[in-house]
Structure 1
């Protein structure tokens, strides 16, 4: 699924089950030493997907540890993103010479819990969700919006190392499976270029929502 949203230079691996007998590096095992079974399975399969994706672009296996915000630390010269939800795990990676940053997210195609939309969206976005719901009522636009916002943060953070709140980006969702995130917080990439907006894509299939952004290298 996820490869349908990303350019060919991005290596994508996804799975709908947890492969048995996956071994972690000791540094990774330390991260989840006290994790419950669900968290352990998500983490382990996510790392497995990431290593499979890295191998496809010629990168040898190495520990993928997390920083203080639990974001994966990728091998030098690469960038990637990992996501998981019930029944789905995926990772995408690319060489930074081709893609500056990546963000992906997966969610069940279900309505958000009551009250959550008000917390994660701006008034203009809620109005848009209402309009889109009238046009395509079979789609859970509130959850699509949430997933897109998660993807925006995952794209923003690796290049700025700064927090981005739900209120710091205004999304325009479109019926054609694309979206634009207008960044309301000032930020620059490592080369000093201003970050103004991200272009992304979304997909609903097989009971899942998947969203993705690939920010081209400058």
Structure 2
């Protein structure tokens, strides 16, 4: 089981212990600002003119990242803001890889040590409607993934589409900070998925394009996912797909 705070237990229970994850609800701006202040940072000057939604998402993501870092490195870690570089990639402490996402009402982050993983990516999404899955399917999924979606092994077609989309987003975020190579949906394939307990599981992704630098070529990535909520419960916002993808050595 990983080191986790605020994430679905079904996801945390399936992650390796060397991956630290945390999530934080995207609440009111005043509350998020106070939570961030207690962690040693606040909204950056670059967001002073941003809309309320953007500022809230930013803070929830950075709060999640700070908690994940503290669980990986200790209470003294991440005193201050985690800033981004020119490509808006977060600058992590030395020896750390990580990723931040915000969606479905949550900020979500994962971190790990660089001697364990070359990269890590996360994503959290609302499960799309059947209409959206049908409209976007050919843009996101290849023929093999289409067949996986139709035989979802406990997941509906909409849930399976969202899982593949979220896994590919996470794969891109795991690879780009180190390799600075732009990938499309067709460059990554969900090759295998294993359902675990409840609405969670793991899988493997294959790169269909060359991504290589120091440490050898990257060919495969590993991932974990969890589905939370009930798709039909519109009052609660529907169900959410959480994904973590890592690039092992």
Instruction: Report the TM-score when normalising by structure 1.
Output: 0.86
Structure with a larger share of its residues in strand: 2
Look up the match of 1:46: 61
Q: 2:222 aligned with 1:186, yes or no? A: no
1:160–1:188 contact (8 Å) kept in structure 2: yes
Shift of 1:210: 0.6
Report the Cα distance in structure 2 between the residues aligned to 1:103 and 1:5, rounded to whole angstroms.
16
Unaligned 5+ runs, structure 2: 1-7, 196-200, 230-238
Q: Distance in 1 between matches of 2:12 and 2:53?
A: 25
Give the conservation status (yes or no) of the 8 Å contact 1:111–1:143: no
Do structure 1's residue 201 and structure 2's residue 221 form an aligned pair? no
Report the counterpart of residue 212 of structure 1 in structure 2.
244
- Structure 1 alignment gaps of length 5 or more: none
Judging changes above 3 Å, is the alpha-carbon distance between structure 1 residues 43 and 129 closer, same or farther for their aligned structure 2 residues? same
Matching of residue 132 in structure 1 with residue 156 in structure 2: no
* 1:164-189 CA distance string (max 9 Å, x none): 11111121242512222110111124
Q: Which has the higher contact order (CA 8 A, sep 6+)?
A: 1
SS in structure 1 at match of 2:182? coil
Match of 2:137 among 117, 139, 156: 117
CA RMSD of aligned residues (A): 2.4
Does 2:109 align with 1:91? yes
1:105 is the counterpart of 2:129:
no
* Preserved contact between residue 6 and residue 213 of structure 1 (Cα < 8 Å): no
1:155 to partner: Cα distance: 1.2
The farther-off stretch of 3-12 and 152-161 is 3-12
d(CA) in 1 for partners of 2:45, 2:202:
39
